[in-house]
Structure 1
Amino acid sequence: MDVYREIRPAGSHAQPLAQHPAAFDRRTGAIPGLHEPGLPVGPGHQLRGGTGAAGGAGGGEVKAAILTIGDELTCGYRLDTNSQAISRRLALLPAEVVLHLTVGDEQEVIQKGLRTALDAADVVIVTGGLGPTEDDLTRQAVAACLGLDLVEDAEALARIRERFARRGRTMPESNRVQAQVPAGSTIIYNERGTAAGFYLPVGGKHLFVTPGIPHEMEGMLEGFILPRLRELVEAGHHVRRAALKVYGLPESEINERIRPMLARGRNPLLGLLPHRGTITIEVVATGSTPEEAEALLEADLTALRAKLGQYIISEDGRDLPQVVADLLVERGLTIATVELGTGGLVAARLTEPEGSERWFRRSAVLDVEPASPGKPEGDSLIDAETALTMASTARQATGADVGVGVGEIAIPQDSTPDRPYGAVHVAVNIRGRETCRRFSFNGDRARVREWAADAALALVRLWVLEQGGMGK
């Protein structure tokens, strides 16, 4: 299914909805107050980029600006995570992000912000303000700033109607506006929500507009924006890319281990992208020939393997649940869990990959029994012995090869120097061979549970690698 299509004002699917004359010169692409006389403008052009011999990383050849829109951001009700996520991805093009700008839901302010961003950068990514309410004004502000009509895309509208229909609802008329984009845009269909995004070349620059909801923005970023920008940046260059996923080392320690490889302007270019305990290391090598780029990439991958060893969980994009699932299938092992502190999250992770009936047997989620009079102070479901018993019980009660036990997570009122808040014991038993480790995580309870579930999967992986190939 296509996720984007160019929209033009003519045709049965395109209905002009508004017109804003005089702000944008259609012939030259100039925006009054932005382009100086004699500045080349027009359709989007090839961007210069690359690293090493093929171009200077960090030299500012490709400049990017990010404009985030929403009163919830300017009022401090919600944190702008989009700018951080986009910046990390753009750095690996490579592109230099020169501006982060956040504005509220006012047309005039949005237009000023857009002009500022276009004046500062070759690539501008705008997020937010594409909802169906009266204060979602981004599409109108962009059209007004560029002097373009808003047009309705029939396919985008059909997708919105279908999305509501799948939930047994009729699309409210207010959502119709989410199928509107400035004329001449390449529409970016939203596979994760209702609002369509769009791309416009503006005076030799590149403007992308997406919804502000992070999940929806990320879908458009990965599915359309980054592939389009890579084509522009890498034109005429030979580029090879790879990604390693690392679990079990904090980002700071990874930085220490590979610090020389993270030097600015180095070829290959490395970037670290953290997500819930997993660090993705992206490697981008540029060469004058395909062979040179491949050799540079492989040299760095070899060095990373030597420095990070068993903490590298995959080199092919697989996440931790998929890696563990594949390992269990490869070794012919089945698994069961008994969980307390994680409330079933370990089982949920283990059943994320398709075909989980091949390796997953059963899960039990326990409740914490209330304290009873005379209960010893040290008697707690946090301890290692209890976690080991839970893992053994999980295996024996279900007939699985691998049992996992996750103890209680220490809460603030029960924490002590020996059992700090966020501490949790995780045990793994493989055919009677067992191990247990205590982990400590910071954050609220939901965050600690998420991290503890991933830590349990990581411990399963390590223990299976060491013990899983042994006979019964």
Structure 2
Amino acid sequence: MSQSPETPPPSSPPVGEVIAIGDELTTGQRLDTNTQWLAQRLTEAGVDVRYHTTVADDLEANIRVFRTAAERADLVVSTGGLGPTADDLTRDAMAAAAGVGLIDVPELARCIEERFTSRGREMPPQNLRQAQLPEGAAAIPNPGGTAPGVDQTVGRCRLFALPGVPAEMREMWTATVAPAIESLPGERRVVRHGLVKCFGIGESHAESLVPELIARGREPLVGITASLATITFRVSASGPDVAAAFAAMEPTLAEIREKLADYIFAEQPGGEPEIGLERVVVDLLAERGERLATGEGMTRGLLASWLAEADRENQAIASSRCANDPTPPDEQALRLLGDAGADYGLAVAGSEREGKVTIALAVPDDSGHGRVVSKEITLIGHPSIHAPLVAKHALNLLRRSLLGIE
């Protein structure tokens, strides 16, 4: 009796690794933003990025790193180590990892020399190192600099080496590497992310409202993080195209919206600059044609600084004061209410030494004098986080009032 053929299982996405090279990274002298950017781009391209490796400018260490990466990953992108100096070892390490030699490429040498000539400079002899490639590798054009990248295959692994200069690396990724990855054989699923940002609820409480969503191995995948009391749900979904990926995450986002409700202050796609409470309240005020006056002592001007950055067009902020005012917070807020034509007065008063801070918000009412909503905060944790936490609580009190949330 014949059996119907089974449906083949979906192919797994290619495993990816990002390698960052340089003593300045391993010693902590410079922040590695290249790895973050590349990991985001690879993930969006449907690559399962499982490894980030940072390695110093040491040849043997570099060789081991590239060999290991070629054994465990299908796609590897490295940054750094492609300059002309003696500590730029990426080409040598890639060649050794593949068991091949370096070859001189006259065409690359001409291109590098022409770049120097076009700038009215003579090419130093050591720049000829940049015209070498591992045998069998191809050059990745670099429109913005003298260091070409390297495109090499080792066994089943495709390796792309890019310069460490972020602008050059990103331009080369967009022009050459991203199209090369898209053209690779096999199914490629697009991955996209959605963020839901909450305030006024603890991380464990937030997780307890949606326990089934946090399970590992679930699709879409949901992660939860906390940073200075801002809780962020990160939803990741895949699909054959961008629209399908976003559609796949929508039911999960809808459930988070339902369960977290008024705690949510922003929702946005992943990969964009993250929205803070200050941006939300400035937008709400601007939409209503209303303005805010602030007075703060304990937060030492942090609240005013955040709001000024968010309100660059000066649409929503009437005035900002930074001083330790001995009058009660309610009185401060009411006084601010009429300050410079303000529609709301927000006062922050208290003492870190005493561990108590009061936030008072004066809002307009039918009496014409205004009414005050206040919140008392007990300071806990390291002193370095007190000011930003209190500033966030103040912004959230205003947000909830603007939205009519009790």
Pairwise TM-score range, normalised by the shorter structure: 0.5 to 0.7
Please state if 1:246 is matched with 2:197.
yes
Corresponding position of 1:326: 283
Alignment of 1:307-326 (within 5 A): 307-317=259-269, 319-320=275-276, 321-326=278-283
Contact 2:358 2:374 in 1 (8 A): no
Q: What is the alpha-carbon root mean square deviation over aligned residues?
A: 5.0
Letter paired with 1:405 = A
Please state if 1:426 is matched with 2:359.
yes
Measured after TM superposition, the shift of residue 257 of structure 1 is 3.0
Structure 1, unmatched stretches of 5+, are: 1-52, 162-172, 370-380
Larger radius of gyration: 2
Match among 297, 310, 327 for residue 340 of structure 1: 297
Match among 393, 402, 405 for residue 464 of structure 1: 402
Contact 2:192 2:236 in 1 (8 A): yes
SS in structure 2 opposite 1:102?
A: strand
Flag the 1:444–1:230 CA change in 2: closer, same or farther, 3 A.
farther
Flag the 1:129–1:453 CA change in 2: closer, same or farther, 3 A.
farther
Structure 1 length-normalised TM: 0.58
Measured after TM superposition, the shift of residue 121 of structure 1 is 1.0
State the alpha-carbon separation in 2 of the partners of residues 260 and 126 from structure 1. 37
Corresponding position of 1:435: 374
Alignment of 1:225-374 (within 5 A): 231=182, 241=192, 243-248=194-199, 249-272=201-224, 277-286=229-238, 296-317=248-269, 319-320=275-276, 321-353=278-310, 355-366=312-323
Structure 2 length-normalised TM: 0.66
Flag the 1:329–1:398 CA change in 2: closer, same or farther, 3 A.
same
State the aligned residue count.
361
Q: Which has the higher mean CA deviation after the structures are superposed, 137-146 or 355-364?
A: 137-146
State the alpha-carbon separation in 2 of the partners of residues 234 and 360 from structure 1. 55
**Which fold has the larger relative contact order, with Cα–Cα distance below 8 Å and residues 6 or more apart in sequence?**
1
Measured after TM superposition, the shift of residue 81 of structure 1 is 8.6
Q: Which has the higher mean CA deviation after the structures are superposed, 61-70 or 306-315?
A: 61-70
State the alpha-carbon separation in 1 of the partners of residues 379 and 34 from structure 2. 28
Alignment of 1:52-451 (within 5 A): 55=10, 61-71=13-23, 74=26, 95-126=47-78, 137=88, 147=102, 184-185=139-140, 187=142, 200=151, 202-203=153-154, 204-207=157-160, 209=162, 211=164, 220=170, 231=182, 241=192, 243-248=194-199, 249-272=201-224, 277-286=229-238, 296-317=248-269, 319-320=275-276, 321-353=278-310, 355-366=312-323, 386-408=328-350, 410=352, 414=353, 419=355, 424-431=357-364, 432-433=370-371, 434-438=373-377, 440=379, 442-443=381-382, 445=384, 447-451=385-389
State the alpha-carbon separation in 2 of the partners of residues 329 and 197 from structure 1. 48
Flag the 1:466–1:109 CA change in 2: closer, same or farther, 3 A.
same
SS in structure 2 opposite 1:315?
A: strand
Structure 2, unmatched stretches of 5+, are: 1-7, 365-369
Measured after TM superposition, the shift of residue 205 of structure 1 is 1.7
Identity %: 29
Measured after TM superposition, the shift of residue 126 of structure 1 is 3.5
Flag the 1:120–1:250 CA change in 2: closer, same or farther, 3 A.
farther
Letter paired with 1:436 = K
State the alpha-carbon separation in 2 of the partners of residues 273 and 408 from structure 1. 29
Measured after TM superposition, the shift of residue 315 of structure 1 is 2.6
State the alpha-carbon separation in 2 of the partners of residues 118 and 65 from structure 1. 9
Measured after TM superposition, the shift of residue 287 of structure 1 is 5.2
Measured after TM superposition, the shift of residue 425 of structure 1 is 3.7
SS in structure 2 opposite 1:358?
A: coil
Contact 2:21 2:54 in 1 (8 A): yes
Measured after TM superposition, the shift of residue 341 of structure 1 is 2.9
SS in structure 2 opposite 1:116?
A: helix
